[in-house]
Amino acid sequence: MKKPTISKLFLYKRRFVIGYILLAILLVILLFGMPLISPAGLSTSEMESAVTSHDVSAETILNGEIVDLPYHFLQKVSIAIFGLSAYSIKLPSMLIGVFLGILLILLLNRWFKNNVAIIASVLTVLSAPFLFIAGSGTPLIMLVFWPTLLLWLGSKIEGKTLPKTIYSFVFGFCLLLSIFTPYLIYFAGFVVLYALIHPHLRFTIKSLPKIPFILTSLVILACIGALGYEVFRFPETAKTLFFMDNFSWGAFFANIKDAFLPFFSWSGNIQSVFIAPMIGLASLALAFTGLISTTKGFFASRNSIASIFIVFTILLSGFNPFCVILIIIPFAILTAHGVRYILEKWYGLFPENPYARIFGLIPISAILGIMIISSLTHYLFGYRYNPVVADEFQNDLSLIYEKVEPGTTILVQGGTLNYDFYRILEDKTDYIITTTASNIYADSNSSRVATLGKWPSKLPYGLSRIICSPKSTNSDRIYIYEGKSN
């Protein structure tokens, strides 16, 4: 009786499918679970995003507020359904993060062998930068989502002798939608220029069916014309799409320095929402190995894209330091190159010895496991306990829900943003939001007042208790006063 070989076993034949399924399940669990744990609270940018989303209406759209509109609409729906909470604010990014993770996996699987793609996918989607944008309730994730989607669609078009018309339509449509995300209008121009310069891509474009290509081009031009008209009517829209607020060319290089400082600082004492270091030393070494390995055959599209993307990310970071998060894409590609290079070199040492190959995977697997676990713990504990980074987030909203009774009048201080944000809370709950103490006198039945932070002047109430936060500074977050107003 013939003994079964390993290659014919079900688990061996389906090992990559099983691996991708397990990775997808782990990704969903992490994205929908970890944002509730780390970062512990909301950042100023997340509060601004919630306010913008809450105010989205037909009137605001007609008045030119179209920047990141798909994201803000999704966030508005989330807040409307689930109320104002950290989870509802972050939920759109979690959902988009799932799709982004799948796109990265599909893109790497498209360009590399399964054994390389799955390892690089794990290192990418479980990295601290990816988990951060997927758990941040801001449109920042769109800056990575659109280029990744376009790269995957481009790979589907490029890899065909006669590209399918549907991919051409979808690519053109997504390229159009991407320009409504700040700074990605530069990326759209880069894509067009790169396609015209690269000889293989020029050939691919020429091989597209003529009529669908012409129709797609006309639709894109018409929509760009409509966007141009909106920009002409509302110049502030153009400023938001091209530059950050208060941008000056003199600060261009300073922005680049601020953007990349979290990559090269190992102390973590950087005042930023990005934890330092953003990428671990082992992962950086692996990506650098991949970068060196791409020098051979540089002009192959997947090789040159990674290197050019790094340059593109550096340039965009000069306009806004937050654009550094775009480094996730070249990091994923270069990590895959690094894994491929290491595996090829190891297998090359023992081309005819399967046992050496198998035992060689043990230390490689151990190293990769350590890299993954260290990245997860770095994200989880760094955002929660690093005093500099954790101070960028506050958990006042959750403290109100847990410690302050409904119907309480809440005195908000700290600027217009705080009032606009907690005004949403008033729309969704029984809390009464005000910014001046004089407003509480009109209600003779008001017996309980909460102030966010110590109120600078005396209130006609007795101090009942102080609600504290486990944050590094300003732990006395909410003061509760009770009694009758005079």
Spans of all domains in the chain: 15-390, 395-482
Whether the pLDDT of residue 141 is over 90: the answer is yes
Residue 12 backbone dihedrals phi, psi, to 5 degrees = -70, -45
**Which whole number is the average pLDDT over 332-340?**
90
pLDDT reported for residue 473:
65
Position 268 scores a pLDDT of: 58
Distance of CA 273 to the CA centre of its chain: 12
- State the pLDDT at residue 47: 92
Structure confidence at residue 189 as a pLDDT band (50, 70, 90):
confident
pLDDT at 163: 60
Sign of the CA dihedral with 170 first, then 232, 75, and 260 last: positive
Q: Identify whether the C-beta of residue 412 lies closer than 8 Å to the C-beta of residue 419.
A: yes
Torsion, Cα 221 225 227 232, to 10 degrees, reads 160
Tell me, what DSSP letter sits at residue 320? -
Between CA 3 and CA 38 the distance in angstroms is 51
The pLDDT score that the predictor gives to residue 95 is 92
Kindly report, residue by residue over 275-296, the tens digit of the pLDDT: 878 888 888 888 888 888 877 7
- Long-range contacts from 241-247, C-beta under 8 angstroms, 24+ separation: 241/67, 241/179, 241/180, 241/182, 241/183, 241/185, 242/182, 242/183, 242/185, 242/319, 243/319, 243/320, 244/182, 244/319, 244/320, 247/319, 247/320
Residue 1: the pLDDT is 46
Backbone angles phi, psi at 465, to 5 degrees: -160, 165
Residue 96: is its pLDDT beyond 90?
Answer: yes
What percent of the chain stands above pLDDT 90?
10
One-letter amino acid of 76: K
Judging by DSSP bridges, how do beta strands 448-452 and 409-411 pair with one another?
A: parallel
Q: Could you report the per-residue pLDDT of 434-481, keeping only the tens digit for each?
A: 887 766 655 545 678 888 888 877 777 888 889 988 775 678 888 998
Which residue carries 């929402």 as its tokens? 273
Under 8 Å between Cβ of 196 and 202: yes
Side-chain-side CA neighbours of 465 within 13 Å: the count stands at: 6
Binning pLDDT at 50, 70 and 90, where does residue 60 land? confident
Mean pLDDT on 365-380: 85
Alpha-helical runs (H) found in 404-456:
416-428
Q: What percent of the chain has pLDDT over 70?
A: 85
- How many Cβ atoms from other residues are within 10 Å of residue 466's Cβ? 12
Region class of 408: left (phi > 0), else alpha (psi between -120 and 50), else beta: beta
Mean local confidence (pLDDT), 33-38: 72
Give the mean pLDDT of the chain: 80
DSSP class of residue 179 equals T
The residues, any chain, with a CB within 8 Å of residue 371's CB and separated by 6 or more, are 123, 280, 282, 283, 286
352, pLDDT greater than 80: no
- If you average pLDDT over residues 230-248, what whole number do you get? 73
Cβ-contact 417, 408 below 8 angstroms: no
Q: Give the DSSP H/E element, type plus range, for residue 411.
A: strand 409-411
Question: What pLDDT score does 444 carry?
Answer: 43
pLDDT digits (tens, 9 = 90+) for 303-331: 677 888 888 888 888 888 888 899 999 89
